Structure 1
Amino acid sequence: MGDWEKTRNRRLEHGLAVPQSKAELLYAVEDGYGKLARDLVRVPETRAREMSLPGHKAETMMSPADLVAYLIGWNETVLSWHELRSRGIEPEFPAPGLTWNQLGDLAQRFYRDYADLSWPELLERFEQAKSGIVSLITGLSDEELYGEPWYGKYTAGRMIQFNTSSPYANARRRIRAWLREQSTTA
C-alpha cells in the first residue's frame, strides 16, 4: 500500500475524507452512526427533551431528542428521494414546499414530525432509518452512486453523504459537547 493510500485510509478512519466509492460511503455511514449511537445512549432519557442545544435555525434551541429527529428526518428524506425517482417522479428538493435556503424551517418540521416519540422510540427509528440508508447504498453500484450527477452537479453518493454521515459527525460533536457540559453541571 502506497503512502497516499495509507493517508486516505487514515483520513477515512477519522471521518475526514469525502467518500468516493460505495465501500467508502458504507463505511462512513456505518462508522459515523456507530460512534454517534454510542454517545446517544449516554443521554439520560429524563433529559432527552431538555431544550439545551443550539438549534439548526438561528436563535433557536433544541433538545437531544430534536437532534435525533433531525437525523431521522434527513435519512428518511434521502430514502424518499430515491423511492420517488425509482417510480419516475422527480422529488422536490430538499422537501415539498421548501427550498435549500429554508433548511432551518425544515429542521423545525423534523422536530415536530417526531415530537410524539419517546427517547427509546427515537433511537430505534434512527437505527431503522440508517438501516434503510445502508440498504439503499448496498443496492446501488459504484457507477450509480458516483458515475454521474444525480442532483445538479452532485452524485447520488455525495447527496447521500451530505445528508447522512456528514450530519452524523456534526451531531456527534454537538452531543459530546452537551454530555461534557452536563457532567460539569450535574
Structure 2
Amino acid sequence: MKQYKNKQELIDTICDKYKKYIAEFEDIPEELRNKRIKEVDKTPSENLSYQLGWINLLLNWDKKEQAGLDVQTPAEGYKWNNLGGLYQSFYITYGKYTLKEQLEQLSVAVNKLDTWLNTLTNQELFDPRQRNWAMNKSEWPVWKWVHINTVAPFTNFRTKIRKWKKITL
C-alpha cells in the first residue's frame, strides 16, 4: 500500500484515480448499466454503487463519531464477516439511479471526502488511534481507511470496467 508524505498527496492521488475511474463510464449506454457478464463480478451500476456505499459509510462514521454517537462498523446491521450482504445493500440503495445520477452522486461524495480530509490535521490522518471507528482489530490510521475505500478500488475497479467494456461494447 502506498505511503503518503502528507495530506495533499493523498487528496491529489484520490482525485487523479477518481478522474481516471469515472472517465471509463462515459461511453457506457444506460441500457447496459445492469448487464452482467461472467468475466467481471460487478455490473457498471454495481461498481458505482460499491464506491458510493463505501465513501458514504466512511464519511458517516466520522460524522457520527464527531457528534458523540456510537459507530458500528462496517454498518448498522452488518458485521465484517457479512460484507456480501453489505454490498447488496449498496446495490439496492444506489442501483435504482441511472449511471448519470450515480456518477453525479459519486462526484458529490468525493467532494465531501476532499472537504472532510482538508479539515483533518496530519496527526488525525496519519497517526493510529485518532478515531474510535478506525480502532477495530486493524488499528489503521484514518488515511489507510480512506485509501482502501477510494484509491484502491478506483484503481482496481477501473480495470474491471475496462474489461467489462472490452467484452460488452
Change (3 A) 1:107 1:18: farther
**In the TM superposition, what are the counterparts of 1:28-43 in structure 2 within 5 Å?**
28-43=13-28
Aligned-pair CA distance for 1:72:
0.4
Aligned-pair CA distance for 1:103:
1.2
**In the TM superposition, what are the counterparts of 1:1-186 in structure 2 within 5 Å?**
17-52=2-37, 54-55=40-41, 62-149=42-129, 150=131, 151-152=134-135, 153-183=139-169
Q: Which sections of structure 1, spanning at least 5 residues, go unmatched?
A: 1-15, 56-61
TM-score by length of 1: 0.81
Q: Which sections of structure 2, spanning at least 5 residues, go unmatched?
A: none
Contact 1:20/1:146 (CA < 8 Å) preserved in 2?
no
| SS of aligned partner of 1:154 | coil
Choose between structure 1 and 2: higher strand proportion. 1
Letter in structure 1 aligned against 2:158: R
Aligned-pair CA distance for 1:154:
0.5
| SS of aligned partner of 1:89 | coil
Aligned-pair CA distance for 1:100:
1.2
Question: What is the root-mean-square deviation of aligned Cα atoms in Å?
Answer: 1.6
Whole-Å separation in 1 of the counterparts to 2:37 and 2:73: 30
Aligned-pair CA distance for 1:92:
0.4
Q: Deviations over 1:127-160 (max 9, x none)?
A: 1111111111111111110123232221111111
Aligned-pair CA distance for 1:170:
1.6
Runs of 4+ in structure 1 deviating by more than 6 angstroms, as ranges, are: none
Whole-Å separation in 2 of the counterparts to 1:19 and 1:95: 27
Aligned-pair CA distance for 1:17:
2.2
Aligned residues: 162
TM-score by length of 2: 0.88
Change (3 A) 1:24 1:90: farther
Whole-Å separation in 2 of the counterparts to 1:173 and 1:69: 16
Q: Deviations over 1:152-173 (max 9, x none)?
A: 2211111111111111112111
